[in-house]
Amino acid sequence: MSGRRLLLFAPMGLLIAAFTLSVAGLLWSSLSHGGPALYAELLMDAGIQRVLWRTVWIAVVTTAISALLGYPLALFLARSPNRNLWLILVISPWLVSIVVRTFGWMVLLGNRGVINNALRNWGLLDAPIRMLFTPTAVLIGLVHVFLPFMVIAILSSLLMQDRKLEEAGRILGGTRWQTFTRVTLPLSMPGVIGGCSLVLLMATGAIVTPLLLGGLRDRMLGTQIYSEIFQIYNFDRATAMAVLLLVTALVLVAPLRLLEARIRHRLEGV
């Protein structure tokens, strides 16, 4: 049995080793070519501070919107008799490249795009509204990309619940809303927090969608790293930014993981 378990843990060990080696390589490269002075320069740079702040708030808002939209959808899927059909529709965007999906939003949000043309044809606008290359466009694109991950995380938690608990709540005189807020929602919080952690991590490091929908003016840290590598060819600065991005993501996600562990401990105690 121990040998079988060892084989099961082998892929996980390989992933952990690859992650550890890559992070160690980033740290070694940044410290050997720039040292602490390079990090101090980045942190004191007003432009990098704005990029870092923009990255954090866009990632947080994307996560919040995904949770607000994803929970009702996941609850509908969990209660629907045609769950598999609806689930296929939810994950169908994964069948299309993220670049193609982002270009689709560019067609919709452009000054001569579908939305602006429709509003002008209906006489609601005299001039097009600037929607493309704005933080709003980035938020729309990121929510569209990451919403299925949130739905699946919450759905898995809802499907693990015992429906008899909800029935017991109704039998004891609780309304649907009381049963939801006191039974269904608390029991599904590990899935919600897990989905938020996943979306927050991916949104923090997003590159393609912010680059195409946000342009070069409203950059996120991922697009800034892309620019440093492929446009400026400043690999040392890009390496230090990658480490900064990793630390930022860990700082954002660590409280969520601690909260999820605490909630799971309380639920298991109950």
Domain check: are 45 and 27 in the same one? Answer: no
Q: pLDDT digits over 213-240, tens only? A: 987 777 899 899 888 888 888 888 888 8
Domain check: are 15 and 48 in the same one? Answer: no
Q: Residues 127-134: what's their mean pLDDT?
A: 84
Please give the pLDDT value at position 229. 85
Domain check: are 195 and 218 in the same one? Answer: yes
In whole angstroms, what separates CA 11 from the centre of its chain? 25
Domains in the chain: how many in total? Answer: 2
Domain check: are 76 and 148 in the same one? Answer: yes
To the nearest 10°, report the CA torsion of 197, 201, 202, 204.
130
User: What is the three-state SS of 59-103?
Assistant: HHHHHHHHHHHHHHHHHHHHHCCCHHHHHHHHHHHHHCCHHHHHH
Residue 155 has pLDDT above 90, yes or no: yes
Domain check: are 192 and 133 in the same one? Answer: yes
Span of 4-13, 21-30, 92-101, 249-258 with lowest mean pLDDT: 4-13
| DSSP for residue 220 | -
Please give the pLDDT value at position 192. 94
C-alpha to C-alpha distance for 104 and 108, rounded to whole angstroms: 6
Q: pLDDT digits over 73-128, tens only? A: 999 999 888 888 888 888 888 888 888 888 889 888 888 888 888 888 887 777 77
The set of residues, in sequence order, having a beta carbon less than 8 Å from that of 170 and lying 6+ positions away, is: 176, 179
Spatial contact of 257 and 201, defined as CB atoms under 8 Å apart: no
Domain check: are 29 and 51 in the same one? Answer: no
Please give the pLDDT value at position 55. 94
Q: pLDDT digits over 241-258, tens only? A: 988 998 999 999 999 888
The set of residues, in sequence order, having a beta carbon less than 8 Å from that of 61 and lying 6+ positions away, is: 139
pTM for the full predicted model: 0.88
Domain check: are 24 and 125 in the same one? Answer: no
Buried residues in 96-134 as b, exposed as e (16+ CB within 10 A): eebeebbeebeebbbeebebbeeeeeeeeeeebeebbbb
Please give the pLDDT value at position 90. 87
Please give the pLDDT value at position 262. 86
Please give the pLDDT value at position 269. 62
Domain check: are 58 and 178 in the same one? Answer: yes
Largest CA distance in the chain: 72
Domain check: are 213 and 85 in the same one? Answer: yes
Residue 144 has pLDDT above 80, yes or no: yes
Residue-number span of the structural domain to which 110 is assigned: 38-269
Domain check: are 57 and 176 in the same one? Answer: yes
The set of residues, in sequence order, having a beta carbon less than 8 Å from that of 217 and lying 6+ positions away, is: 133
DSSP letter string over 125-186? -SS----TTSHHHHHHHHHHHHHHHHHHHHHHHHHTS-HHHHHHHHHTT--HHHHIIIIIHH
CATH of the domain at 251: 1.10.3720.10
Domain check: are 95 and 173 in the same one? Answer: yes
The angle that helices 185-204 and 135-159 make with each other, rounded to 10 degrees, is 140
C-alpha to C-alpha distance for 81 and 51, rounded to whole angstroms: 45
Spatial contact of 77 and 86, defined as CB atoms under 8 Å apart: yes
Domain check: are 236 and 178 in the same one? Answer: yes
Please give the pLDDT value at position 68. 96
Residue 1 has pLDDT above 70, yes or no: no
Q: Which of 67, 75, 80, 216 is nearest to 143 (CA)?
A: 67
